[in-house]
A and B are shown apart, each in its own frame.
Chain A
Amino acid sequence: MKEVTMCCTTCPSGCALKVMIDNNEVVSVEGNNCPRGEKFAHKEWINPERMLTSTVYAVINGKELLIPVKSKEPIPRKIMTEAMKEIQEIEVNAPVKMGDVIKENLAGSGVELVACKTVK
């Protein structure tokens, strides 16, 4: 049994978590102000996940611009680089609405990449 301290990054509050690990498994979490902290600790120990936000290149109505995008759910931290490579290749040519799926199954994560802005 060992104790690990973590900072929960689910929300800006940043609760300091005291996580007990036994046999490489999380057995208890303390210090979280909400249930999301417990969920976070489990994931963080096994396979940390992060939201990925970036931009994609777009030419809409002849105008070059960037459209902000995000992974709809957090994706494993270890596939960030791969996901960024995929995002780099994308070009959008039609008007988009906030929430439109720009790419499905980002870097094999099963998570969608969605637009964060409406550009007509």
Chain B
Amino acid sequence: MRTLKYDVVVIGGGPAGLAAALKAREKVEKVAVLERNDELGGILNQCIHSGFGLHVFKEELTGPEYAQRYVDMVAETDISCYLNTMVLDVTEDKHVVAMSEDGMLVFEASSVVLAMGCRERTRGQIRIPGTRPAGVFTAGLAQRYVNLENFKPGSRVVILGSGDIGLIMARRLTLEGIKVVGVYELMPYANGLYRNIKNCLDDFGIPLHLSTTVTKIVGSKRVQAVEVSAVDENLKPIPGTEEIIPCDTVLLSIGLIPENELSKKAGIELNPVTNGPKVDNALETSVKGIFACGNVLHVHDLVDQVTKEAEDAGTYAAEYAAECAAAQQADAAVSTDVETAAEACGTSNAETEIAVIPEGMVRYTVPTRICANRTPVTKIKFRVGRPVETAKIRITSGDKVIFESKKAKKFVPSIMENVNLTAAQLADVQDEIKVTLV
């Protein structure tokens, strides 16, 4: 069993991990990226459609191009990339245990960045009744088969869920000669971007059925059909509206969940709304020296947002590692106790913490707490729970309004909102701020 020492260890070699590693390397010497797959770039490699990079690169790229740019940037540095390396455990003292074809590896890190991404919700989670035949795929698995593995997942497809992956797969399958019968969405509104509905469905005459869901999967060996039903305002199927749609394949595009099994092992406190870690404004989790970014923290709409968030996480993780090194050096004369050195790390201080509380239509916020003065700007991200026709964002501290957006606008759950607060705006805040819509 090999032991390796790094300043910053980044878990995950997708867009979040690569951006975090690049930023961290600007501040510390030894940075490692641990990637479970056989190539860097993560899920972007299978997202061959365009629409990435408008914010970061000011041009529209495909997923593989966006990934390639970061892969190329990382290749220019001395960041160590471990491929086919699966992290099995992260401890509170930042020992990262991984398996690889070279044996079991233990990475001893000063700080760790969690960038494991997310996974798709499955049939079991929404409990679709029926049989269990071949031909039920999550949209992402089907995307993998079509775009990387060179296989058709079926010949006649029903898609449940109007998330962007489902919409994009509808177009992709159609272009490759596979019949897409229709897209069914439980909610009364589409979950994906409007441009995807237009370019992926309307362009190809694929119908989108709102307020409709799959109520049964039929077929003993292979899917033979699905039963779909209209749902009422409580999202419950309406008896008598059942319709049988013959198909041999069902794709599920029913949402993403941050993948936090490692975070749980490390004892990190999670936010039950996002399923991601609770973090402060420096993206540090409840375990000192462990940072989180990208879809493992909360599911993003655009990879550009992931990159920006990951750059912050990489920067703060490297600062933490550098402080650890400095504290260790200072302590070395007196004591070699690493624990003491680690104690001195970070700037988190319970006394100066401000809680960030979502109120009303605001479903969650990232961060959930702010350590004043830890970051030059405090970036608050949030989503609404359901569409709001017109409203303004308001952030209050007690009776005092510390931020209010100038223009009222429309809010939808599929779009993440951002507010940047300056140190001045937070100067007089005591215990908590509340984020709400008015």
Contact = CB atoms under 8 A, between A and B. Distances in A.
Given A12-B54, A68-B147, A98 B68 contact: yes
A9 B199 contact: yes
Contacts of A11: 51, 54, 60, 195
Interface string B135-150: 0000000000001101
Interface residues on A, range: 20 to 34
A101 interface: no
A50 B301 CA distance: 22
Interface of B: 45, 48-51, 54, 60-65, 67-68, 71-72, 147-148, 150, 175-176, 193-195, 198-199, 203, 301-302
A50 B193 contact: no
Nearest to A83: B175
Nearest to A8: B195
Interface in A21-78: 48, 50-55, 57, 64-66, 68, 70, 77
Given A11-B51, A48-B203, A53-B62, 20 more contacts: A7-B195, A8-B195, A9-B199, A12-B195, A14-B194, A51-B50, A51-B60, A53-B49, A54-B176, A55-B48, A55-B147, A66-B150, A70-B50, A77-B203, A98-B64, A116-B64, A116-B65, A117-B45, A117-B68, A118-B68
A11 B54 CA distance: 8
Contacts of B176: 54, 84
B68 A54 contact: no
9 contacts: A7-B194, A7-B195, A12-B302, A51-B60, A53-B62, A54-B176, A68-B64, A98-B68, A118-B72
Interface in A84-120: 84, 98, 116-118
B196 to A, nearest CB: 8
Given A70-B62, A118-B68, A7 B302 contact: no
B345 to A, nearest CB: 39
Nearest to B52: A12
A20 interface: no
A98 B65 contact: yes
A57 B149 CA distance: 11
B48 A53 contact: yes
Contacts of B51: 11-12
Nearest to A44: B198
Contacts of B194: 7, 14
Select the residue from B45, B71, B198 with max chain A CB neighbours within 10 A. Answer: B198
A53 B172 CA distance: 9
Q: Interface SS of chain B: helix, strand, loop or mixed? A: helix
A117 B193 contact: no
B96 to A, nearest CB: 29
Contacts of B195: 7-9, 11-12, 14
A92 B301 CA distance: 34
A70 B63 CA distance: 11
Contacts of A65: 148, 150
A103 to B, nearest CB: 16
B150 A117 contact: no
A12 to B, nearest CB: 5
A11 B199 CA distance: 12
Contacts of A50: 199, 203
A9 to B, nearest CB: 4
A26 B430 CA distance: 56
Contacts of A53: 48-50, 62
Contacts of A54: 48, 175-176
Contact of A84 (B64, B175, B193): B175
A84 to B, nearest CB: 6
A118 B41 CA distance: 12
A98 B61 CA distance: 11
A116 B54 contact: no
A50 B198 CA distance: 11
Contacts of A48: 203
A12 B63 CA distance: 14
Nearest to A9: B195
A116 B148 contact: no
A80 B62 contact: no
Contact of A12 (B61, B147, B193): B193
- Which 8 residue pairs of A and B lie closest in terms of their CB atoms, listed nearest first? A9-B195, A14-B194, A68-B48, A117-B64, A116-B64, A68-B64, A14-B195, A116-B62
A14 B147 contact: no
B64 A7 contact: no
A9 B45 CA distance: 23
A84 B172 CA distance: 11
A14 B67 CA distance: 24
A9 B198 contact: yes
Select the residue from A51, A52, A98 with max chain B CB neighbours within 10 A. Answer: A98
B152 to A, nearest CB: 13
B205 to A, nearest CB: 12
Contacts of B65: 70, 98, 116-117
Nearest to A11: B54
Contacts of B49: 53
A116 B199 contact: no
